[in-house]
Amino acid sequence: MKQRIVLHIDFDYFYAQCEEIRTPDLKTKPVVVCMFSDRGGDSGAIATANYTAREFGVKSGLSILAAKQMLKNRTDSAFLPADFEYYSDMSEKSMNIIKKFADVFEYVGRDEAYLDVSEKAELDFTKASHIAQQIKNEVREKTKLTCSVGISPNKLLSKIASGYKKPDGLTTVTPNNISEFMETLNLEDIHGIGKKTQQKLAAENIETISQSKSLDIFELINMFGRKSGTYIYNAIRGIDDESVTIRAPMLQLSKISTLREDSVDYAFLEKSLLALCEKLHLSILKENRMFRSVGIHLTQDDLSTKTRSRMLRNPTLSLDELKKYQDNYSRRHLRINLH
């Protein structure tokens, strides 16, 4: 395959860092960005937290009440409502700086992007490292934000590398040290190898990347199917041929609702999901957009989450299509979990 140099840019604790920049006095305090629910009070979940708060165990997805309990001895803690308009503005300023360094720029989200710099770096990883440092310096100078950068021959490794020395890190994985780098990782560090995959491997006494390499591609396909098995075989070896692709920022529309009370009543939950579908559809019509991807995210009373999504065959703006997906999800997943 043609040699490439790919950068992955990942902003550190982005929402909380934006709040620290807006209010510098917060830098030494635990900062927790919250998604407050319509139940009122402290009902809701954590969107992100700065590293000071993370030292106490606070992390994304945790309930606000649980986070406050963890930080009960830090009376200087700041629990702030998420301000997505402000975060989007900070992101746009940063991405406009970053994209000028790329041969090909791929926007992933407010705090994340891929850059193919193969031509600008002349396939030289030392030059690519200098480009990455220039990006970090200019972003910090103009927005005060810090970001971590991973550099490697592909997207998979660059994403792993950007998280290797957070915060404010810069990690380079050259073609010659891929194997050495992979040996420093855990299976869970590889995108796409989740808990269920790890459990299945553990049942075969496979718990490390080194051990997983003892399985040939046919054994992995037999265990996980052709697509997943082939992906795992390549991923544990640091192999990835996905291109950096120019893509406009996708518009994501969502509606979030917290039930007035916990419930295992299927009819009530289904009715609540239908109401969300109707509200979401109104937003879609107002934006004059079509949608192609649909997803549902549930947080249960033990704070565990379940997420399901589906790519539709064709773009649509049909409310019936939304309801059809919701009905299919309810029948396949809610009933299983409630009975």
Long-range pairs of 264-270 with CB within 8 A, sequence gap ≥ 24: 264/338, 266/330, 266/334, 266/335, 266/338, 269/330, 269/334, 269/338, 270/326, 270/327, 270/330, 270/334
Work out the angle at residue 165's Cα, subtended by the Cα atoms of residues 161 and 171, and round it to the nearest 5 degrees: 45
Answer whether 309's CB lies under 8 Å from 291's CB. no
Residue with tokens 């310096």: 137
Which of 19, 20, 106, 112 is labelled catalytic?
112
Q: Give SS3 for 297.
A: strand
Instruction: State the Cα–Cα distance between residues 265 and 261, nearest whole angstrom.
Output: 11
- With 0-12 / 13-18 / 19 or more C-beta atoms within 10 angstroms meaning exposed / middle / buried, residue 288 is exposed
- Structure tokens given for 272: 């609540």
Specify whether the CB–CB gap between 289 and 35 falls below 8 A. Answer: no
Known catalytic residue at 112? yes
Helix axes 266-287, 319-329, angle to 10 degrees: 150
Q: Contact 98/120 with Cβ under 8 angstroms?
A: no
Question: What is the rounded CA–CA span in Å between residue 223 and residue 260?
Answer: 43
Q: Which residues are catalytic?
A: 112
